[in-house]
Amino acid sequence: MTKVATTVLTVTAACSGLAWTAVSLTGNSIDPKPPVSCAYTPTTKVKSASIPPFNAKKAARPYTAELVTNRGTVTFEALTEEAPCATNSFSFLARKGYFDGSKCHRVTTRGIFVLDCGDPKGEGTADPGYFFKDENLTGAEYPAGTVAMSKVVPGRNGSQFFISYADPQFRMSSEWTPFGRITGGLDVVREIARNGTRDGSTDGRPKKAVVIKSVTVRQEAADAPGKSSG
Helix (H) and strand (E) counts in the chain: 4, 13
Give residue 91's pLDDT: 98
104, 117 in Cβ contact below 8 A?
yes
Strands 146-149 and 203-204: unpaired
Domains contained in the chain, CATH given: 41-227 (2.40.100.10)
Q: Please, is 153 exposed, middle or buried when counting C-beta atoms within 10 Å of its C-beta (0-12, 13-18, 19+)?
A: exposed
Give residue 33's pLDDT: 53
Nearest 5 degrees, angle CA 219-CA 220-CA 222?
A: 90
219, 62 in Cβ contact below 8 A?
yes
Q: Could you tell me which residues come within 8 angstroms of residue 104 by beta carbon, excluding any fewer than 6 positions away? A: 69, 115, 116, 117, 122, 192, 206, 210, 211, 212
* Torsions phi, psi for 68 (to 5 deg): -95, 115
Nearest 5 degrees, angle CA 99-CA 138-CA 20?
A: 130
pLDDT tens digits in sequence order for the chain, 230 residues long = 444 444 433 333 334 343 333 333 334 444 445 557 899 999 987 777 799 999 999 999 999 999 999 999 999 999 999 999 999 999 999 999 999 999 999 999 999 999 999 999 999 998 999 999 999 999 999 999 999 999 878 889 999 999 999 999 999 999 999 999 999 999 999 999 999 999 999 999 999 999 999 999 998 754 444 444 33
* Torsions phi, psi for 115 (to 5 deg): -120, 120
In angstroms, the first-to-last Cα distance of the chain is: 84
Residue type (1 letter), 69: T
Give residue 99's pLDDT: 97
Query: Would you call 59 helix, strand, or coil by DSSP?
Result: helix
